[in-house]
Homo-oligomer: A and B are copies of this chain.
Amino acid sequence: MMTVGILGGGQLARMLAIAGAPLGLRFRVLDVAPDACAAQFAPLIVADYHDTVALERFAAEVDVVTFDFENVPADSAQWLSERLPVYPNPHALAVAQDRLEEKNLFLELGMATPEFRAVDSLEDLQRACTEIGFPCILKTRRLGYDGKGQYRLHGTADIADAWAALGRVPLILEAFVAFDRELSVVAVRGQDGEFRAYPLTQNWHTDGVLSLSLAPAPQSEEVAALAFECAQLLADRLEYVGVFALELFERDGQLLANEMAPRVHNSGHWTIEGADCSQFSNHLRAVVGLPLGSTSARGVSAMLNWVGELPERAPVLKQARGYFHDYGKSPRAGRKVGHATLTAAYADVLAENLAELAAAIDRQAQIAPALAALGLANTAATEPRPGS
């Protein structure tokens, strides 16, 4: 009986514990928050991630360590890795924590990226803006997520404000990419180096937070092979073990690598019901050394994030293949509190189900991009189907 330790006790840890139960795994979660939602299903140690007394106790209770979020202090990951197996390894975690290191690695591996420059001074910023041009985005190199730690610049007049807002930490300036769409590869690499990728996922964000995913991404066959190759190059170079996501922009049929998330990823939540083996099960299989599971999709899936508060559950559950996920968190503006996945054997059935759901829960704006991508006119979302 193996016990898996998870640093971070949010919804990802919660879904890992749920996925790991059938495999006979047990869990310990370490989080700073006593109400961490994973604690409803796994024993919780409440402590700061730097607290070596707590880490000592945690390490004594578990056989292997993994992460629910990427901003675990690198030295804590290192400290743990000197005592027991830690997956992904602290080096991979450190690279993925730093937007500059990450993008430099992308380039080194031959992957295209949006133009970027390191920014450590106001002068760096001014020079970088001249070289990259506007619009562009200034980001903290570390500790950013869900659009936090970012400032968009439209012209030289914004430089002073951007510097004032973010200038106290190491930064990166990135070109603003007028992309055609956002894609992600969710993939897994085992301890033996075996690599498997889920079908490409198309994503839409609202206010910097993932709102909607569609998988397999429509019309993505041509770019999929390149995306999987990039993901595998990256995973092999980092000697990565577990699930990760590579976020990509597609523009004129070209792919630009945006960032890597060294963990199970929101854009892979559809795999719980929409793939043979979920990203959560596959992450655990990799981490404990079991055979990787099939990453094949079962039909087509759409995932809707619930941000701030949950809608009614019934309209989702009434769909033949509608699945509701409540993370057991209290509502709060901007907080991810749950998601729903709809799956169907065919894209047109999925589009019809989504249109019905959009009307029933009044989420037309959130769902409309999926209908457009699936080829159903947006208007269908605003009118209930005859007989429904």
Contact of A23 among B1, B24, B294, B326 (CB under 8 A): B326
Kindly identify, within residues 296 to 327 of chain A, every residue whose CB is under 8 Å from any CB belonging to chain B.
296, 298, 310, 313-314, 317-318, 320-321, 323-327
Q: How far is the CA of A294 from the CA of B293 in the complex (A)?
A: 25
User: Among A14-22, A147-155, A212-220, A253-261, which stretch is in contact with chain B?
Assistant: A14-22
Contact A23 B291 (CB under 8 A): no
Contact A291 B320 (CB under 8 A): no
Contact B294 A324 (CB under 8 A): no
Q: A40 within 8 Å of B by Cβ?
A: yes
Q: How far is the CB of A64 from chain B (nearest CB, A)?
A: 16
Q: A131 within 8 Å of B by Cβ?
A: no
List chain B residues, Cβ under 8 A from A321: 276, 294
List chain B residues, Cβ under 8 A from A135: none
Q: How far is the CB of A55 from chain B (nearest CB, A)?
A: 23
Q: A40-B26, A320-B276 are in contact. Are A314 and B326 (CB under 8 A)?
A: no
Q: A32 within 8 Å of B by Cβ?
A: no
Q: How far is the CA of A313 from the CA of B293 in the complex (A)?
A: 12
List chain B residues, Cβ under 8 A from A18: 18, 21-22
Q: A290 within 8 Å of B by Cβ?
A: yes
Q: How far is the CB of A196 from chain B (nearest CB, A)?
A: 11
Contact B290 A22 (CB under 8 A): no
Q: How far is the CA of A246 from the CA of B140 in the complex (A)?
A: 61
